[in-house]
Chains A and B, each alone.
Chain A
Amino acid sequence: MVFQFDDLKKKTILLFISAPLVGAGIGFSFMFFAIKNQPTLGETPWRTYLNIGASDESMLQKAIRTRVGIYALPKEEVIYFMASTDSDGELLTSDQRYEVSGIAPATKIWSITLYDKDFFLSDNALNRHHFNASSLNVEQGKPFSFVVSSTPEVGNWLPAPQKGNFALCYRFYLPPASAFPINESSLPKIKKL
């Protein structure tokens, strides 16, 4: 048997190039799988991430945060809740109308913003992308509601994109100490109409 040095060399070079690429590809898939399957808070449609800026964040957590919330602030400044489904677990879509309702939280600064499927603000004729305490004219501890729909609505209407899925981001600024741990039942409901 003749030793094929060139053949061995080629296989080794191929191994050194392909193996890290395969590993990176698995990393890429793993990150998106982890984002897609991030658990919601109990029975609510909301997901949150409270570890921003913490020293014990893992590399995976850092990469995920870069993907879904780059330049985010730590939880002492704002708590971010994201929902891409309604309260029944179905994806939010422009084909449906939704009512978002809840109790105004114990901070005067909060908002609920609509993002399109790529997490950009969606253009609309009203130039309206969110509701907050002042635009809903609601005081702390009082109930609020608004409708999300791609077609105009009477009253508090948050325009959805003309097509595709979308997501809502509930921001709770300067949360008081009493906001922790998160009370899941205090989070707004998203009900299909």
Chain B
Amino acid sequence: MKARLIIGFLLAALGFWSYFVAYPYFIQAAIEWKISKGKNILLHSKLPTSKTPDSPNPDFIYSIAFYDLKDGDLLLTGKVPEGLDYFSIAFYGSNTLFYSIVKPDQKSDTYAIRLVKKSQRTTDNSQTVIESPSEKGTLILRYMCRNSRDLTSIAKIQEVTRLSSVP
């Protein structure tokens, strides 16, 4: 009886701890299931012209991709937006945890970011390299949108932003 009580307590403690470990992965899977159109596909949030709210933060227009590095590195390329108050590309692991951010140089016209697995470092110094702590994760581009001029600029930039496999 006593042994069963101790085992029960230990199993309950394991369940308690596992809940916190599993929760972020569960939420990540739920979000992917809800909005993803497939791995390594860049999705752009709708421009806020509709009265139906579709953005978690009205300060930003987002682009998001759920990435998978199983088949190799990925390359994110795009044009640096001019005149926006804020533009960043944030990276999150498979458990939704933030691990890196890139804010492309406003003086440059374009940017290229290579996303690699942490265990596969590259010696290529010509690109910004981000080492993902997990094979899967999420990258989010945030464009701050203040007015219709920003909106037009962001729409054009979204069209030329690409996430592709590195040959």
Q: Which residues of A contact B (CB under 8 A)?
A: 11-12, 15-16, 19-28, 30-31, 52-53, 57, 59-60, 62-63, 66-67, 70-74, 77, 108-109, 111, 113, 120-123, 125, 127, 129-130, 132, 134, 171, 173-174
Most buried by A among B9, B14, B19, B85: B19
Q: How large is the interface on B (under 10, 10 to 19, 20 to 34, 35 or more residues)?
A: 35 or more
- The verdict on B31 contacting chain A, using a C-beta distance below 8 Å, is yes
Contacts of A28 in B (CB 8 A): 19
CB distance from B121 to the nearest CB of A (A): 20
Say yes or no: A26 contacts B12, CB within 8 Å: yes
Contacts of A73 in B (CB 8 A): 88, 90, 98, 101, 142
- Given known pairs A15-B11, A130-B59, A134-B146, the reply for A24 and B18 (CB within 8 Å) is yes
9 new A-B contacts, CB < 8 A, other than A71-B138, A74-B98, are A20-B18, A26-B15, A27-B18, A59-B20, A71-B90, A109-B144, A123-B52, A123-B53, A173-B86
Contacts of B86 in A (CB 8 A): 109, 173-174
Say yes or no: A125 contacts B51, CB within 8 Å: yes
- The verdict on B155 contacting chain A, using a C-beta distance below 8 Å, is no
Partner of A127, one of B51, B59, B88: B51
- The verdict on B27 contacting chain A, using a C-beta distance below 8 Å, is yes
Give the docked Cα–Cα distance between A66 and B22 (Å): 11
Q: Which residue of B lies closest to A120 (CB)?
A: B53
> Tally of A-B residue pairs with Cβ under 8 A?
130
CB distance from B122 to the nearest CB of A (A): 23
- The verdict on B95 contacting chain A, using a C-beta distance below 8 Å, is yes
- The verdict on B143 contacting chain A, using a C-beta distance below 8 Å, is no
CB distance from B135 to the nearest CB of A (A): 19
Contacts of B90 in A (CB 8 A): 71, 73, 77
